[in-house]
Amino acid sequence: MSLVIRSAIIEDVPEILRLIRGLAEYEKLEHEVVASEDKLRRSLFGERPAAEAVLGCLEGRAVGFAVFFHNYSTFRACPGLYLEDLFVEPAHRGSGYGKALLLHLARLAVERGCERMEWSVLDWNQPAIGFYRSLGANVMDDWRICRLTGDALKDAART
């Protein structure tokens, strides 16, 4: 079977949500998923989409996905591509599908004039870290992610 990678369409929202829940289960973060089909429709396919998604499909069924958006590098004065999530169902891992999705995004980034592609990886996820390094990715140990969410974000906005 050959993996077909295609851009997600609004009718794929239930499959995207299913894959998001699969990713959350893998990362032991199911309790943090508040995404819904309605929120995905608005944020991915609404008037001003916040991100894009691609699906990796076998015989028409999604077995993996990637969600990404553009960011910007002031030092390079050009856009970049930020990979928010990459996931392949456990039964299909080791088949090259994750690599195919990542390389698809790398080609897309180059086509769109991006000079870099970035993503985050959990520090305990050694299989993913090894996979990313095998593709030439630099795991930047000297950078830390900062995040405001929930009440902290609302408090900062009011200050």
Give me the active site residues, please.
132
What are the backbone angles phi and psi of residue 22, rounded to the nearest 5°? -65, -40
What are the backbone angles phi and psi of residue 111, rounded to the nearest 5°? -60, -35
- What is d(CA 82, CA 68) in angstroms, rounded to the nearest whole number? 5
Angle between helices 37-45 and 13-26 (to 10 degrees): 110
Q: Which residues of 8-27 are buried (b: 16+ CB within 10 A; e: fewer)?
A: beeebbebbbebbebbbebe
Strand pairing class (117-119; 78-88): parallel
Q: Which of 62, 71, 131 is nearest to 99 (CA)?
A: 131
